[in-house]
Structure 1
Amino acid sequence: MSHIHDKEDSCCSSKANIKHEHIHNHEDGDEHNHDHGGDPSSFKTYLPAVVTLTMLLIGIALDNLFKVEAFETIRPYWYIVAYLPVGFPVLKEVWETFKAKDFFTEFSLMSIATIGAFAIGQYPEGVTVMLFYTIGELFQMAAVNRAKRNITALLDIRADVAHVLRAGKYESINPEKVVIGETIQIKAGEKIPLDGELLSDKSSFNTSALTGESKPKTISKGGAVLAGMLNLDKVIELKVTKVFADSAISRILEMVQNATTRKAKTELFIRKFAKIYTPIVFFMALALVTIPFLVLGNEYNFQMWLYRSLVFFVISCPCALVISIPLGYFGGIGAASSHGILFKGSNFLDLITKLNTVVMDKTGTLTKGVFKVQKIESNIEEQEFLRYLTALEAKSTHPIAKAIVQYAGEKEIHPAEDIEEIAGMGLKGKVNGIEILAGNTKLLEKFSISYDASISTIEESIVALAVDHKYVGYILIADEIKEDSVDAIKQLHANGVKQIVMLSGDKSSIVKKVAATLGIHTYYGDLLPEDKVAKLEELKSNKNNVIAFVGDGINDTPVLAISDIGIAMGAMGSDAAIETADVVIQTDQPSKIATAIKIGRATRNVVIQNIVLAFAVKALVLVLGAGGIATMWEAVFADVGVAFLAILNAVRIQKMKF
């Protein structure tokens, strides 16, 4: 899986104190950032445009409406002064880009066009070109900032204070200073500042900031509570399980912030295109002035052809393309975030539209991963059986292990030593010097321990126990299929996914039963992590397959890494799976995969629409301008109008229903 790492650029940069970041890309790969400050909500940002507009309207009125003769004397100077508030920042930017050896930018296009208009006495038109260019940039700035706010507002839910128990009393400190194992208190209506384990009996939480789901979630004592949730019921206490930097909300925030650094191929193409396109139109405009001179001879009208060339300059500015396309992807990432789906880059928004094969883990992905102990069969005392078993399982984070420890409750747990996890089989360790094995029948076979053959026919999940090289019994665990799993499979087929495969380390009999319930025709059970990798590699051998793997556990990490798109379940998923994945589903609902595909397609459609709109209108007006039919007034309105329509179209993604 290739991750394209690139720095964010806002392409068409703002002028007149507009806050933006403009990046000039050079052949050597260096990038020069110019931050001009400014606040999009501040009147100062818009003041230069207001001043220029006021002076322009007064000048036009004195020129055409009142026809004041005295104005003719100061006319050039009046329009120069009117030009400077919006023109000076652009001229300054031209100087900066020239120093960086970047000569062909939208800044240089606009500067040449307006200075040329002044040179042939078209003062109002020169001012108007720069004014409307700046107004267009202000619209673009507002749209970009809105798109960014829509993403980050979902994540602006970090608590600023944690009430931590120290020396017998609660202190209010920065969450970053709280350490693992400390107890924190959260009052009703407060945000959870850190990930932790609930010490209180139970409480209800609003998880919408993390998952996009508005339905409150009730968590009981011992359950995992994540930073960013909102405590709804009463005063509760948590035992901190992760430092602030590793908390769920910090991890999500980092992923979304980094999402803009991974560009879609379309974005990368447009950036390269703009770099080639701008010098081409510059020389075409130059040719529009020089070639007629060679052809027409004495009939050549320099002022007329220069004017046409300047119109060509204005309409050829690539802003509509280079701002609306990244803005479209911003909108797609923001729309996905509002549905509890986090794309780690716009490149994955593109790729998911081509998805035709989905490979899914079973436990925690299609099933709830919330196991409950059904029964214990043992030839030793049940209490002793549980003590040996929980001594090992207490050291594991697997859902089955958690279910066993929770079932054991307050029963004494023997201290275990030399614990070793054997991938796809179970755990090995020592309790009071005695070797203990806890896992599936493969584990028993690996260590040549004989067992009751009848347990191999049990469909449900079991954990067999061997003490001192002797099989002593098993514990039976049951899982449940998620409510939306059946619907998820139907939606995937409806959205063009031709092949759905289920891979699981669970027993084949269980996998078969779940597959039949969900309508999945291809499934494999009893797989070790390396077996899952082998199955995926087999699917990848068909170059026509675009494959997503969906999982949640540490053992899924290798398959997530080699798939075209790795999708992790975020609420229950392991840190390793979430870090490795390209897309994270915060709600743990498999049906969100189809939603992600729909959002990806909507984003792609908007981007294509913007490209076609910009090229079609610009091509038409360029021809009209070169032929002397379109004036500079029409050129500037067409340029700003196209950019504005493209921006509105891009913002539309965030309003769509999926």
Structure 2
Amino acid sequence: MSKKKANLKDIDLDQHAGEHSHDDGHNHSSPESTSKFKTYIPAIFSFVLLIVGITLDYFDVPFFDKWVRIVWYVVAYVPVGFPVLTEGWNSIKKGDFFTEFLLMSIATLGAFAIGEYPEGVAVMLFYAVGELFQQAAVNRAKGNIKALLDVRPNEAIVSRDGDYTSVNPESVEIGEKIQVRVGEKVPLDGILLSDKGSFNTAALTGESKPDTVQKGAAVYAGSINLDGVIEIETTKEFKDSSIARILDMVQNATARKSKTELFIRKFARIYTPIVVFLAIGLTFVPYLFVEDYIFSDWLYRALIFLVISCPCALVISIPLGYFGGLGAASRNGILFKGASFLDAMTKVNTVVMDKTGTVTKGVFKIKKIENISAFAKAEFMKYIMAMEEQSTHPIARAIMEYRTEGSEFKATDVSEIAGKGLKGSVNGKIVLVGNKALMTSNQITVPAETDSIVESIVMVAIEGSFAGYVTIADELKEDAHEAIKAIRDSGISKIIMLSGDKDSITQQVAKELGIDWAKGGLLPEDKLKEVEKLKEQIGVTVAFIGDGINDAPVIATSNVGIAMGGLGSDVTIETADIIIQNDQPSKIAQAIKIGRSTRRIVWQNIAFAFGVKIIVLILGAGGLATMWEAVFADVGVAMLAILNAVRLQKMKWD
């Protein structure tokens, strides 16, 4: 393939990034539509002349004699043929002799040389139409990814010298205060300074539901402010912002080719010169063996052979198929870092996942309050909250979310006992809040029933007597059950959970979700060892799904690494092969489906293209196929393959 063609197949997103970065906000649909129409004018002109010429030939119109006929078809040929001839000549000057441009040029000029003018025009016309059809399909395929570029913020209103100034987001430094008005895009990652904000994060997460955040929460570049003027303190430069990272990943994804794509490209470079030499042989070798050899007949067969052999269907539809898969995934909030990972996902048969933040929300909530003290439940909780107010532990934060009426209690003389809990005074009473070890070390008798509790438990003693306990549990994500079922339905043979949380909780979650095997109480290096053991087994291909920095080593080691919540951990983003943008584990099954559908469509196109070409090649070599069959075997097959690839954009993955 020539350089120009290669660029077209690769889809140059940088060009589109530049186009959008200079968007002035006005509607340019009319000039764009005019430009699109102009691209079809040469093909329309040639088509009209071809149809009129064939009609004049059919009715044997007198004025349509030899020279008029030649000039007529030459005029019909030039609009669609000249660009191809030019590309072929430019390729030859660069030392790239064997391209589809050369094949089409030889075939059509050869048809003119032996007087088959309508067929020469038709071959080039349908080739040009195929190219236009391909370009339209490419534009459609990249539409979902190109939409990401539309959310690239092009200005930031920053507070400088006591006034707000509009500047390029790339010039804003970390720690500066920016203002975002209603309907505007957040230009940089930051912390919300206003009391609250509501954002459309669809471009980042694929989730259309507005996201409401409170003061002090993280806000990401590319989100759209939905409610009131807000202020944000920037925490990252634009080049490191969430939207910039996503755009970079998407653009790089188009450059990372699958093994199938790379093979087809190498194959086309070997295949094309072989076809040219076979065509030459088909023209001249029969002279040695055929008694009534007619040069023009065998040249015609060779020209048919060249047209049929053009590898357009393969070099167009296969990259388009993979790009369609990447676009479909992106539209659903799944970022593949390259076409190679679409292929890799099809081979996964064992899914290993973390628990906290992957199938659970990673947010602790009070599950049960057991009060056996003489105090009312609300008062009992006030004693606990007064103590936990002194702690920053996640469990303490969960307890502090409990709402009570009346005045708050204050704790004094609070001391933390490492690995056990807290001891202090509340309203003049000695209060212990912690685990069983804290109770037993202070000679507090603990009910035996607490030994069977799986969840994290906070025990309370007031004035030397056991007063009750609170159980804390992480909540399952809303789609956790659906996700495990969908993964299993997709044909995954084994689902495993590896967690750093205590084993009893891990086993309970695994049982509730129907996971095959689980193990808890693991350090990051323990998870790594478990995954390495799995990979050593013959025929096992592992995908690991995690959500944080501690999962990065395992994600890197697994055959396919998947990061949940791509906006959270920079390390995980860099390490993972696939990013699930909206934290939904159900997207894992979608990623598997998209990968398999992409690969299936690619191989359908390969089989169809080769099958039809081989049949028509044999017929052409035997003189049983005309140039019209050759056109179908080349352009027709390419069009059908493109239509097949475009199906990926219309499929439902829910």
**TM class by shorter-chain length?**
0.7 to 0.9
After TM superposition, the score normalised by the length of structure 2 is 0.80
Partner secondary structure for residue 617 of structure 2: helix
Give how far 1:316 is off: 1.1
The 5 A counterparts of 1:157-556 are 157-297=151-291, 299-371=292-364, 390=392, 452=438, 459-460=454-455, 478-556=473-551
CA drift at 1:312: 0.9
Deviation at 1:137, TM superposition (A): 0.8
Residue 406 of structure 1 deviates from its aligned partner by 9.8
**What whole-Å deviation, never above 9, does each CA across 1:561-590 have from its counterpart, x for those lacking one?**
111110001256311101211111111011
- In structure 2, relative to structure 1, the CA distance for the partners of 1:596 and 1:649 (3 Å cut) is same
Contact 2:85 2:101 survives alignment (8 Å) = yes
- Where structure 1 has 5 or more consecutive residues not aligned to the other structure, the ranges are 1-8, 24-36, 394-398, 408-435, 442-449, 465-473
Structure 2 CA distance for aligned equivalents of residues 488 and 166 of structure 1: 48
Q: For the residues of structure 1 that align with 2:339 and 2:110, how far apart are their CA atoms? A: 40
Partner letter of residue 343 of structure 1?
Answer: F
- 1:336–1:11: structure 2 CA closer, same or farther, 3 Å change rule? farther
Kindly indicate whether residue 96 of structure 2 is the aligned counterpart of residue 99 of structure 1.
Answer: no
**2-side partners of 1:192 and 1:562: how far apart?**
35
1:31-42 aligned within 5 A: 41-42=35-36
2 CA distance for matches of 1:233 and 1:550?
A: 35
SS of the residue aligned with 1:480?
A: strand
Q: Which residue in 2 is equivalent to 1:85? A: 79
Measured in 2, the distance between the counterparts of 1:190 and 1:117 equals 59
**Matched residue SS, 1:296:** coil
Cα displacement string for residues 193-212 of structure 1 (whole angstroms, at most 9, x for unaligned residues): 22222222223322222222
Flag the structure with larger Rg: 2
- Equivalent in the alignment of 1:468: none
CA change 1:177–1:437 in 2 (3 A) is farther
For 1:537 and 1:70, the matched residues in 2 are separated by 77
Would the aligned equivalents of 1:603 and 1:653 in 2 still touch at CA under 8 Å?
yes
2:596 alignment partner in structure 1: 601
Q: Distance in 2 between matches of 1:402 and 1:587?
A: 24
Letter in 2 for 1:86: V
SS state of the match for residue 510, structure 1? helix
How far off its partner does 1:188 sit? 2.4
2:50 is equivalent to residue 56 of structure 1 = yes
Partner of 2:263: helix, strand, or coil? helix
Question: How far apart in 2 are the matches of 1:545 and 1:208?
Answer: 35
Picking from 122, 144, 148, the partner of 2:142 is 148
Corresponding residue of 1:128: 122
Q: 1:48 to 1:454 in 2, by over 3 A?
A: farther
- The two structures have a TM-score, normalised by structure 1, of 0.80
Letter in 2 for 1:603: T
Measure the CA separation in 2 of the matches of 1:111 and 1:657.
42
AA paired with 1:539? L
Which residue matches 1:4? none
Q: Say if 1:147 and 1:651, in contact at 8 Å, map to a contact too.
A: yes
CA distance 1:402–1:159, shift in 2 (3 Å): farther
The answer to whether 1:576 aligns with 2:568 is no
Which residue pairs with 1:13 in the alignment? Answer: 5
**Contact 1:11-1:22 within 8 A present in 2 as well:** no
- Structure 1 position 237, deviation (Å): 2.0
User: Counterpart of 1:242 in 2: which secondary structure?
Assistant: coil
**AA of the residue aligned to 1:120:** I
Q: Compute the RMSD of aligned alpha carbons.
A: 3.7
The range that moved more, 91-100 or 611-620, is: 91-100
C-alpha distance in 1 between matches for 2:401 and 2:649: 43
2:211 is matched by which residue type in structure 1?
K
Moved more, 93-102 or 561-570: 93-102
Q: 2 CA distance for matches of 1:501 and 1:507?
A: 16
**Number of matched residues?**
581
Structure 2 Cα separation of the partners of residues 574 and 185 of structure 1: 25
What CA distance in whole angstroms lies between the structure 2 residues aligned with 1:106 and 1:301?
A: 27
8 Å contact 1:553–1:574 — kept in the other structure? Answer: yes
Per-residue Cα deviation, 1:43-81 (whole angstroms, up to 9, x for no partner): 443333234334434444444446233642343344334
Q: Give yes or no for contact 1:550–1:567 (8 Å, CA) kept in 2.
A: yes
Whole-angstrom CA distance in 1 between matches of 2:364 and 2:567 = 13
**CA distance, structure 2, for counterparts of residue 45 and residue 437 of structure 1:** 77
What do the CA deviations read for 1:200-245 (whole angstroms, capped 9, x no partner)? 2223322222222222222222222222222222222222222211
- Kept in 2: contact 1:321–1:614 (CA 8 A): yes
Report if aligned partners of 1:440, 1:463 keep a CA contact under 8 Å in 2. no
After TM superposition, the structure 1 stretch with the greater mean CA deviation from structure 2, 613-622 or 582-591, is: 613-622
Matched with 2:552 is 557
Secondary structure, counterpart of 1:550 in structure 2: strand
Which residue identity lines up with residue 13 of structure 1 in the other structure? K
Residue of structure 2 equivalent to 1:73: 67
Conserved 8 A contact 1:359-1:549: yes
Residue by residue over 1:153-172, the C-alpha shift from the partner in whole angstroms, topping out at 9 and shown as x without a partner, is 14421222222222333222
Q: Answer yes or no: is the 8 Å Cα contact 1:282–1:313 preserved in 2.
A: yes
For 1:632, the aligned partner's letter is M
| Partners of 1:10 and 1:22 within 8 A in 2 | no
Q: Distance in 1 between matches of 2:242 and 2:165?
A: 23
| CA shift in 2, pair 1:21/1:548, >3 Å | closer
Aligned-pair distance for 1:647?
A: 0.7
For 1:307, give the aligned amino acid. Y
Greater CA drift, 608-617 or 546-555: 608-617
Flag structure 2 segments of 5+ consecutive residues without an equivalent.
12-18, 20-30, 370-379, 403-415, 422-435, 442-449, 460-468
Deviations for 1:16-67, whole angstroms, at most 9, x for unmatched residues?
A: xxx93689xxxxxxxxxxxxx9989434433332343344344444444462
Is the alpha carbon distance of 1:637 and 1:490 closer, same or farther for their aligned partners in structure 2, counting shifts above 3 Å?
closer
Which residue does the alignment assign to 2:15? none
CA contact (8 A) 1:165 1:184 kept: yes
Counterpart Cα distance in 2 of 1:406 and 1:579: 34
Summarize the Cα distance change of 1:341–1:440 in structure 2 as closer, same or farther, 3 Å threshold. farther
1:642 aligned onto 2:637:
yes
| Alpha-carbon offset, residue 356 of structure 1 | 0.9
Residue 107 (structure 2) aligns with: 113
Amino acid at match of 1:20: L
How far off its partner does 1:501 sit?
1.4
Aligned residue type for 1:582: D
Which deviations, in whole Å up to 9, do the C-alpha atoms of 1:332-355 show, x marking residues without a partner? 111111111111111111121221
